[in-house]
Chain A
Amino acid sequence: MEQVTIIKERRIPTSGEVYVDVGETVTPDTLIAKGMVPSQEIHELRLYRNLNIDPETVKDHITKHEGDSVEKDEVVAIARSFFGRQTRMARSPIDGVVTDFSEKTGRMMIKGHPVPVEVYAHIPGIVQELYDDEGARIETQGYLHHGLFGVGGETHGELALAVESGDTPLTSSEIKQEHNGKILVGGSVATLDALREAVKQGVKGIIVGGIDQKDLTYFLGYEIGVGVTGGEDIGLTLILTEGFGINPIDNDLYEFFMKHAGGLACIDGTTHIRSRSLRPEIIFPTLSL
């Protein structure tokens, strides 16, 4: 495997703040940019129903007004009857802001708080260019190997070998507490139990020759479908180097992993299988910072 220049474009999908400058050295955990995107959660409360009163009279009973922040389950309107002996209340279903209240219809709109989006460097390197309010381009030197298929997004950690050879299956008994936070190299196949144990032990990623497609389906909880992955929230990133089923890792590749055991590995399971293919990445940075 040859050493290459690796370039990463790190951008957020909205305007925000960029925290790095051109020429700056970054580590995988360096925050590059952060912004806020509007929440998708919008709730309309028909307060007159909750309070069991006429819509026109709701205005006399609201406790929160347009622009007010509310917390989940916080009372936004209250009505008392029978000389205060019976109380009816309406509560906010989410944390958010009251965006609208109609005196005529007695309806209140509550929108969730904006959601932060941020992007980290993912690889150690040097900032080459800034994208106004959105991020930066980072360059590094290192080794890059593309797997065949992966699930889970970007992560990084120390590379560790979990099995003795590329044709040994990775079972749950090989996963130890000491593997917490590491990227593990398995062998010919990872069993379903091994994946579940790895999540339990806090393993950040697994690089393995193969996996039974059915086990992967069970692990994910759904069928993969079209070969577009990377956004799975499964507790780790999994990269297959050879394919589905029992497939020993190529000898040369396994030897390469052996050489780099103990070093930093930055991996990304994102896979787009189509003519514009994007295959999972295993990066071993060599740039000395």
Chain B
Amino acid sequence: MSSEKRGKFLLVDITHNDTKAILIEENKITGKSKSPTTVDEPTLDVTRGVQDAIRQIETAKNIKITTKNGVKQSVKLLCSSSASGGLHMIITGVIGNISGESAQRAALGAGALLIDTFSKDDKRPPYKKIAAMRQSKPDILLMSGGTDGGASSQVLEMAEIIKRSDIKPRYGTEYNLPLIYAGNISIQDQVDGVLGENGYALKMVENVRPLINRENLGPARESIYDAYMEHVIIHSPGYTKLAEWTDERIVPSQAMVGKMLFEYAQQQGVNLLAVDVGGDTTDVYSVYNGVFNRSLNAGIGLTYGIGNIVKEAGIDNVLRWLPSSFEERDVRNIIGNMMIKPHEKITSEERRIQAAIAREAIKLGVNGHKAIAQRLKGVVTERTLSDMFEQALEPTLLNMMKTQLVVGKGDAFKNQTIEDSTMILLDSLQPEGVTELYLDPENMAAPLGNLVDHDRLTALDLYGDSLEFIGTCIAPRGELKTEKDALRIDFEDADVSHVFKYGELTVVPMKSTEIGEAQIVPYRLDVGAGRGKTIKRNIRAGKLGLIVDTRGRPMTRYRQTVRLLPFEALGRES
């Protein structure tokens, strides 16, 4: 822990169901509480839930934080919110996978839920775009298109379509929809001429794609935060009052999750992959070589988005994770009902189906993420012969062998045991090499992410403490015949070795976290240094201990039983 003493912070994160309050004093969490969110009827005032949560801390600590008009000046209040389904956005571009994709990255990075994306080159004719835009009812529209001094007529054509669409904001018709223009800056006046006085609260910012080989997402992202605060959030009941309690902006929770994960990966010096499966969305966050990306699969989730998983992945891929006693017809009906009438308390049958669905949701989410986490498109890159052999120009930044840290968070893990959560992560992500697996059970990334700009070190320390360390997973890439020797691990400090057969999933429970240095010797498989090449790593054991997954990559065994192998039972076999 950092020793420097810092100020008092009250972090509040408002989700659809709960309002969480965390009091931080002298770099430590000294109070934590949760109260139902009160945005919806009958209360219709978000501050009631916030006050309830703060009062719980006050009662528990016998202190006074609240005043008549908010909180004491000595406490800095920082709020994030994802209530009412988060920040709904639509984006427009000229070329879908150039300006459209940059706008998408800016919006996703700002924590948005993309309802729809429109571009000049998508297949819908203008009248269908108009019908879809009218139906969309977003919170904010982000318009991009053209490099600076580049395409103009297509951008203006899109502006005409937006004008014709007369898009109404989600929270009613009595205010104008915030529209952020982040396209070709040389035609800002013309865009203003088309859209300026036509029912939109238009704001001009720097281009998200000023040059074909450069992205500039910061100004658009900041503008989204401003619009969220100025135009969107104040239309939710009680938020105007909440905004008066704090000097800081109320920010989208998902943006703060991204910020926290990015900072944590930077501090740990690792490549990180985090998955968050919610009710109707699956978020994937990654940090590879210092580059942050967030992708969101709207409509892929455990309640509202559950049917889409069956459609996208196929019912057989869901059934493969379930015992054979589960009949397809029953599973389909249960899934259908989880979609149309989500409920908090679930049966054990639903829990197992949810775990199966979560695996496929993460797989779909990661596949979608690969398209976002990649080099800029439209840029001509010179490839030399050596590049081709070294695969230096991989299509995506995501690489499981180079992923040192995996975090699972969200509803997918809420109803599961740590063992089931581990299986969800292993089966869906199929980590390769040596990977540390974590869960974020209390969903602390959002509130602590909000602290990053005020007290980075405390935020990082507390986030690290809040993560539940499952264990280190060692998984070789490649395939062998079943029961062939897959790899040997020499635990050097304990002077013990063990050979693991191919096709097994072994959990080695440990008494202490520190295992020390281990030599991993793969037989014709790859654990990171190349086929058959030995690596040495300092290995730590988590709550489950050490996990050795020799089911092969890509994995083909779906109903594998887990073998428990106490560390004491490991023999000297080398």
Binding site for B on A (CB under 8 A): 11, 13-14, 37-38, 40, 117, 148-149, 212-214, 217, 222-227, 240, 243-245, 271, 273-276
Which residue on chain A has the smallest CB distance to residue B138? A276
With A212-B333, A226-B305, A227-B340 given, name 15 new contacts (CB 8 A).
A14-B130, A37-B125, A148-B341, A149-B336, A213-B336, A225-B299, A225-B312, A226-B308, A227-B304, A244-B334, A244-B337, A274-B299, A275-B85, A275-B88, A275-B304
The 3 closest A-B pairs by CB, nearest first: A275-B85, A244-B336, A225-B311
A226 touches B329 (CB 8 A): no
Q: A263 CB to closest chain B CB, in angstroms?
A: 27
Whole-angstrom CA separation of A128 from B19 in the bound complex: 42
Q: Which residues of chain B are within 8 angstroms of A227 by Cβ–Cβ distance?
A: 304, 307, 339-340
Q: B376 CB to closest chain A CB, in angstroms?
A: 29
Whole-angstrom CA separation of A157 from B127 in the bound complex: 30
B84 within 8 A of A: yes
Whole-angstrom CA separation of A223 from B309 in the bound complex: 10
Q: Which residues of chain B are within 8 angstroms of A149 by Cβ–Cβ distance?
A: 336, 340
Which residue on chain B has the smallest CB distance to residue A40? B125
Q: B445 CB to closest chain A CB, in angstroms?
A: 21
Whole-angstrom CA separation of A185 from B312 in the bound complex: 33
Q: A84 CB to closest chain B CB, in angstroms?
A: 43
- Indicate the member of B85, B333, B334 with the most A CB atoms within 10 Å: B333
Q: Which residues of chain B are within 8 angstroms of A225 by Cβ–Cβ distance?
A: 299, 307-308, 310-312
B328 touches A214 (CB 8 A): yes
Q: Which residues of chain B are within 8 angstroms of A244 by Cβ–Cβ distance?
A: 332-334, 336-337, 340
Knowing A244-B332, A273-B304, the reply to whether A148 touches B340 (Cβ < 8 A) is yes
A223 touches B310 (CB 8 A): yes
Whole-angstrom CA separation of A240 from B340 in the bound complex: 10
B340 touches A274 (CB 8 A): no
Knowing A212-B333, A226-B307, the reply to whether A276 touches B125 (Cβ < 8 A) is no
B481 within 8 A of A: no
Q: A204 CB to closest chain B CB, in angstroms?
A: 23
- Indicate the member of B84, B125, B307, B308 with the most A CB atoms within 10 Å: B307
Question: What is the interface size of chain B, counting residues whose CB is below 8 A from a CB of the partner?
Answer: 34
Q: A47 CB to closest chain B CB, in angstroms?
A: 26
Which residue on chain B has the smallest CB distance to residue A11? B134
Knowing A212-B329, A274-B304, the reply to whether A223 touches B336 (Cβ < 8 A) is no
Q: Which residues of chain B are within 8 angstroms of A275 by Cβ–Cβ distance?
A: 16, 84-85, 88, 280, 304
Q: Which residues of chain A are within 8 angstroms of B137 by Cβ–Cβ distance?
A: 276
Q: Which residues of chain A are within 8 angstroms of B312 by Cβ–Cβ distance?
A: 225
Whole-angstrom CA separation of A271 from B131 in the bound complex: 17
Which residue on chain B has the smallest CB distance to residue A117? B127
Binding site for A on B (CB under 8 A): 16, 84-85, 88, 125-128, 130-131, 134, 137, 170, 280, 299, 304-305, 307-308, 310-312, 315, 328-329, 332-337, 339-341
Picked from B125, B304, B329, the residue with its CB within 8 Å of the CB of A214 is B329
A224 touches B307 (CB 8 A): yes
Knowing A148-B341, A226-B299, A274-B280, the reply to whether A245 touches B333 (Cβ < 8 A) is yes
Whole-angstrom CA separation of A287 from B333 in the bound complex: 39
Q: Which residues of chain A are within 8 angstroms of B334 by Cβ–Cβ distance?
A: 244
Whole-angstrom CA separation of A54 from B234 in the bound complex: 68
Whole-angstrom CA separation of A149 from B338 in the bound complex: 12
Whole-angstrom CA separation of A243 from B340 in the bound complex: 7
Interchain Cβ contacts under 8 Å between A and B, 24 examples: A13-B131, A14-B130, A37-B125, A38-B125, A117-B127, A148-B341, A212-B332, A213-B332, A222-B311, A223-B315, A224-B311, A225-B308, A226-B304, A226-B308, A226-B311, A240-B340, A243-B336, A244-B333, A244-B334, A244-B336, A245-B336, A245-B337, A274-B85, A274-B299
Q: A160 CB to closest chain B CB, in angstroms?
A: 26
A13 touches B304 (CB 8 A): no
Whole-angstrom CA separation of A82 from B340 in the bound complex: 70
Whole-angstrom CA separation of A11 from B170 in the bound complex: 19
Q: Which residues of chain B are within 8 angstroms of A40 by Cβ–Cβ distance?
A: 125
Knowing A148-B340, A226-B299, A244-B337, the reply to whether A13 touches B128 (Cβ < 8 A) is yes
Whole-angstrom CA separation of A225 from B305 in the bound complex: 8
Which residue on chain A has the smallest CB distance to residue B299? A226
Q: Which residues of chain A are within 8 angstroms of B130 by Cβ–Cβ distance?
A: 13-14
Whole-angstrom CA separation of A224 from B147 in the bound complex: 39
Q: Which residues of chain A are within 8 angstroms of B335 by Cβ–Cβ distance?
A: 213
Whole-angstrom CA separation of A213 from B337 in the bound complex: 9
- Indicate the member of B127, B311, B334 with the most A CB atoms within 10 Å: B127
Which residue on chain B has the smallest CB distance to residue A147? B340
A273 touches B128 (CB 8 A): no
Q: Which residues of chain A are within 8 angstroms of B128 by Cβ–Cβ distance?
A: 13
Q: A245 CB to closest chain B CB, in angstroms?
A: 4
Q: A16 CB to closest chain B CB, in angstroms?
A: 11
Whole-angstrom CA separation of A46 from B329 in the bound complex: 51
A13 touches B134 (CB 8 A): yes
B329 touches A243 (CB 8 A): no
Which residue on chain A has the smallest CB distance to residue B123? A40
B307 touches A223 (CB 8 A): yes
Whole-angstrom CA separation of A214 from B127 in the bound complex: 34
Q: Which residues of chain A are within 8 angstroms of B170 by Cβ–Cβ distance?
A: 276
Which residue on chain A has the smallest CB distance to residue B130? A13
Q: Which residues of chain A are within 8 angstroms of B134 by Cβ–Cβ distance?
A: 11, 13
Which residue on chain B has the smallest CB distance to residue A148? B340
Q: Which residues of chain A are within 8 angstroms of B329 by Cβ–Cβ distance?
A: 212-214
Q: A142 CB to closest chain B CB, in angstroms?
A: 24
Whole-angstrom CA separation of A38 from B124 in the bound complex: 12
Q: Which residues of chain B are within 8 angstroms of A117 by Cβ–Cβ distance?
A: 127
Which residue on chain B has the smallest CB distance to residue A277? B304
Whole-angstrom CA separation of A226 from B333 in the bound complex: 15
Whole-angstrom CA separation of A214 from B16 in the bound complex: 32
Whole-angstrom CA separation of A213 from B329 in the bound complex: 7
Q: B179 CB to closest chain A CB, in angstroms?
A: 19
Whole-angstrom CA separation of A243 from B307 in the bound complex: 14
Whole-angstrom CA separation of A243 from B137 in the bound complex: 27
B131 touches A243 (CB 8 A): no
A38 touches B340 (CB 8 A): no
Q: Which residues of chain A are within 8 angstroms of B304 by Cβ–Cβ distance?
A: 226-227, 273-275
Q: A199 CB to closest chain B CB, in angstroms?
A: 21
Which residue on chain B has the smallest CB distance to residue A228? B299
Whole-angstrom CA separation of A40 from B280 in the bound complex: 32
Q: B364 CB to closest chain A CB, in angstroms?
A: 12
Whole-angstrom CA separation of A276 from B136 in the bound complex: 10
Whole-angstrom CA separation of A225 from B311 in the bound complex: 5
B85 touches A243 (CB 8 A): no
Whole-angstrom CA separation of A227 from B308 in the bound complex: 8
Whole-angstrom CA separation of A243 from B338 in the bound complex: 10
Q: Which residues of chain B are within 8 angstroms of A38 by Cβ–Cβ distance?
A: 125-127
B340 touches A273 (CB 8 A): yes
Knowing A13-B134, A223-B307, the reply to whether A214 touches B332 (Cβ < 8 A) is yes
Q: B32 CB to closest chain A CB, in angstroms?
A: 27
Q: A154 CB to closest chain B CB, in angstroms?
A: 15
Q: Which residues of chain A are within 8 angstroms of B125 by Cβ–Cβ distance?
A: 37-38, 40
Whole-angstrom CA separation of A148 from B305 in the bound complex: 15
Q: B83 CB to closest chain A CB, in angstroms?
A: 10
Q: Which residues of chain B are within 8 angstroms of A37 by Cβ–Cβ distance?
A: 125, 127
Which residue on chain A has the smallest CB distance to residue B300? A226
- Indicate the member of A40, A117, A276 with the most B CB atoms within 10 Å: A276
Q: Which residues of chain A are within 8 angstroms of B333 by Cβ–Cβ distance?
A: 212-213, 244-245
Q: Which residues of chain A are within 8 angstroms of B315 by Cβ–Cβ distance?
A: 223
Q: B330 CB to closest chain A CB, in angstroms?
A: 8
Q: A147 CB to closest chain B CB, in angstroms?
A: 10
